[in-house]
Amino acid sequence: MIINQLSVFVENQPGKLAEVLGVLHTHEINIRAMSVGDTADFGILRIIVNEPEKVQHVLRGAGFTVKITPVASIILSDQPGSLFEQVSKLSSAGVNVEYIYAFAANSAEKHARVVLKVDNLNLAERLISGKCETSEAYGDDACATPNFYW
């Protein structure tokens, strides 16, 4: 499943992350999954929320640089090897995973969910949903549709 993730630029300074979280809190926005990629100087906060366009508007208004990035979301059966299985499908088809992170655990759910940022989202989506096989990836026009999101 393709979902929209919000990416927020955060300077690597005390209190900066808290500022973003504060804005989300004030607007009662629930973070369903998150990760931070960072360097010494800055970080990119990536979050999954319920209404990404609305939240983007809110964060922009608060003065942040925000971007909507489509990512793949996978539901995994909660057992060893299930993530490996999905990721190997992608790598065999030449899809590069830029980063990956998990949703907050929900005890009611029997499944785990992860978010993947890949370089060919449409192909990844088809591979994960089983609409095409790894071996077909390069041959089948439908499966090799270039990704027009970027």
Partner 1 sequence: MNTYWNKPAETMEREEMSNLQAGRLKEIVTRLYRQQPFYRSKMQEQGLLPEDVVTLEDIKKLPFVSKQDMRDNYPYGLFAAPMSEIVRIHASSGTTGRPTVVGYTKRDIGIWSEVAARSLVAAGLSKQSCIQIAYGYGLFTGGLGIHYGAELLGASVIPISSGNTNRQIMLMKDFGTTAIACTPSYALYIAETMREMGIDPRETKLRTGIFGAEPWTERMRQAIEAQLGIKAMDIYGLSEIIGPGVAIECSEQNGLHISEDHFYPEIINPVTGEVLPDGEKGELVLTTLTKEGMPMIRYRTRDLSVLHREKCDCGRTLVRMSKVLGRSDDMLIIRGVNVFPSQVENVLLGIGSTSPHYQLIVERKGNLDHLTVLVELTEEMFTDEVRGLEELEHKIKGELSSVLSVSATVRLVGPKTIERSEGKAKRVIDKREL
Compute the least distance from the CB of residue 98 to partner 1, in Å: 6
C-beta of 109: minimal distance to partner 1 in Å? 27
Give the residue carrying structure tokens 């607007």.
Answer: 27
Site map for partner 1, 115-134, x if CB under 8 A?
--x-----------------
Half-sphere exposure of 113 (CA within 13 A, CB side): 19
Which CB, 7 or 120, lies closer to partner 1?
7
- Joined tokens for residue 96: 């590069």
Q: How many CB atoms lie within 10 A of CB 65?
A: 11
Taking the complex as a whole, how short is the minimal distance between the CB of residue 142 and partner 1, in angstroms? 27
CB 34 within 8 Å of CB 101:
yes
Q: Which position among 1, 2, 30, 42 is part of the footprint of partner 1 (CB under 8 A)?
A: 42
Total residues contacting partner 1 by CB under 8 A comes to 23
* CA 27 vs CA 31, 58, 59, 150: distances in Å: 12, 8, 10, 29
Distance in angstroms (rounded) separating the CA atoms of residues 114 and 73? 6
Structure tokens at 55: 């939240």
Q: By C-beta, is 100 or 132 nearer to partner 1?
A: 100
Minimum distance of partner 1 from residue 150's CB (angstroms): 9
For position 9 contacting partner 1 by CB under 8 A, the verdict is yes
